[in-house]
Structure 1
């Protein structure tokens, strides 16, 4: 089969752009079709398309840190992604730059011969309005509901219900629901537990709550709702980027998204990544 590959390099990173150029040359040498994101296309000689236009390709290569891969995942959904790590920790990016050409060309060869590559499915979260009909873009890390701002005087009262039963209610900076992937990010900084990547669970963590309860680990099909009150304005936020303004009292439902993210190629060592956390 003919293989179509998209390449996304971390913005304004010359090292990432140089690697993208090398990958384009190598892939074109194998007969595969390769395009890069528009920002990279302005820096190297390669066909460029919007990242969202790479959805549906056989493979998308993300060159950068975990933040770059999160961006790529938002744009291309279930399209298989390979992460090349230029960051510090790299929970999602397992491939070192020195190994990138070998790994990418091997995956392309496998696609040409078999039409598919094995990958690991990463769950994503969907936040939707219960009182008002809106839906945020799926979150690979976490969904957060908080008051008008973080810190002193900026919190709100948030009630958490689990399968229709009240778990807790407290004034807090906010509440977050994280996937195993996101357990090492915002959740960890708020005192939430680490979840092993293979765990089929979610974690609900309060943020600086006045009357706090321990973080709660639940099954992924659990019905979770977060009801915010006691403030004029609040927000629901997906992966720190996509935001919905709320007019309290307002209830947000958090559930698994229909489409997961597929990571292909070598997988990162979770415990090695933990050693790099500050």
Structure 2
């Protein structure tokens, strides 16, 4: 039985596109398709990335940003990341090892019928009558803009209990995966992958409380006031405009992301950060 594989290469990256072409030729016991952009570059038929959600494995070739995009499109379908980026917290496979590693995972799926992967929590942000696409890194709630005159009054409640309230540019809630992303840029704590935790971090608050680490099952409520407008943003991409006063509820989403293949070395990746 052939295993259905999707391959997504970083847009306009010739090295990624060439590796996608190599994988298509090299994979046995697999029916592989590429995304539309890659297909146009390597003269193969391409399909929308979202349609790969029905496949048994999706290979993401590029940086962590490419994998974040793939995760948004394919949901819980297992993803294997090939690292062409600078750091590679999510993409554990070196390009030189990609053919062998992907072939091993395909053979494992063919033999066992499933991918043995690591599950990463995502965050769900919702308000009255709306919700954002799940976030693998973080959910941010902020005022009309960053900087002087652009913040809002934001109250933070955890499981119904108030943690902090005051004027800030915004507040972010991050997963352990997202601890090395926007959270780190806002002087938040590093959290090792696999920890059952979430991070709550104020952004440029006038009377800031320390960043808070809570259990993964916590219900976090962010209430925004004293601003003409505000925004809730998922992974820096999916955005909802708010009309304060407004409340955003953040919690762990039902469907995690599944990473296939070897795990990235967290501490080695940290050494590559500037």
TM norm. shorter chain > 0.5: yes
TM-score range, shorter chain: over 0.9
Structure 1 residue 111, shift from structure 2 partner:
1.3
Q: CA RMSD in A?
A: 0.7
Provide the rounded CA distance (Å) in 2 between the counterparts of 1:127 and 1:31.
40
Provide the rounded CA distance (Å) in 2 between the counterparts of 1:54 and 1:274.
31
- Size of the aligned set, in residue pairs, is 274
SS state at 1:55 partner: helix
Q: How does 1:196-211 map to 2 (within 5 A)?
A: 196-211=192-207
Asked if structure 1 preserves the Cα contact closer than 8 Å seen for 2:154 and 2:166, the reply is: yes
Q: How does 1:62-73 map to 2 (within 5 A)?
A: 62-73=60-71
Asked if structure 2 preserves the Cα contact closer than 8 Å seen for 1:6 and 1:34, the reply is: yes
Q: Which residue in 1 is equivalent to 2:267?
A: 271
Structure 1 residue 152, shift from structure 2 partner:
1.4
Q: Which residue in 2 is equivalent to 1:4?
A: 4
Q: Which residue in 2 is equivalent to 1:123?
A: 121
Structure 1 residue 47, shift from structure 2 partner:
2.5
1:165 and 2:166 matched = no
Structure 1 residue 158, shift from structure 2 partner:
0.4
Asked if structure 2 preserves the Cα contact closer than 8 Å seen for 1:34 and 1:47, the reply is: no
Asked if structure 1 preserves the Cα contact closer than 8 Å seen for 2:29 and 2:107, the reply is: no
Q: How does 1:172-187 map to 2 (within 5 A)?
A: 172-187=168-183
Q: How does 1:108-257 map to 2 (within 5 A)?
A: 108-129=106-127, 132-257=128-253
SS state at 1:226 partner: strand
What does the per-residue CA deviation read over 1:26-71, in whole Å, with 9 as the maximum and x for residues that have no partner?
12xx141110011101101322100000002110000000000000
Structure 1 residue 251, shift from structure 2 partner:
0.3
Q: Which residue in 2 is equivalent to 1:82?
A: 80
TM-score by length of 2: 0.99
Asked if structure 1 preserves the Cα contact closer than 8 Å seen for 2:29 and 2:106, the reply is: no
Provide the rounded CA distance (Å) in 1 between the counterparts of 2:191 and 2:166.
24
Asked if structure 2 preserves the Cα contact closer than 8 Å seen for 1:24 and 1:46, the reply is: no
SS state at 2:131 partner: coil
SS state at 2:150 partner: coil
Provide the rounded CA distance (Å) in 2 between the counterparts of 1:6 and 1:222.
35
Structure 1 residue 116, shift from structure 2 partner:
1.7
Asked if structure 1 preserves the Cα contact closer than 8 Å seen for 2:143 and 2:151, the reply is: yes
Structure 1 gap ranges (5+): none
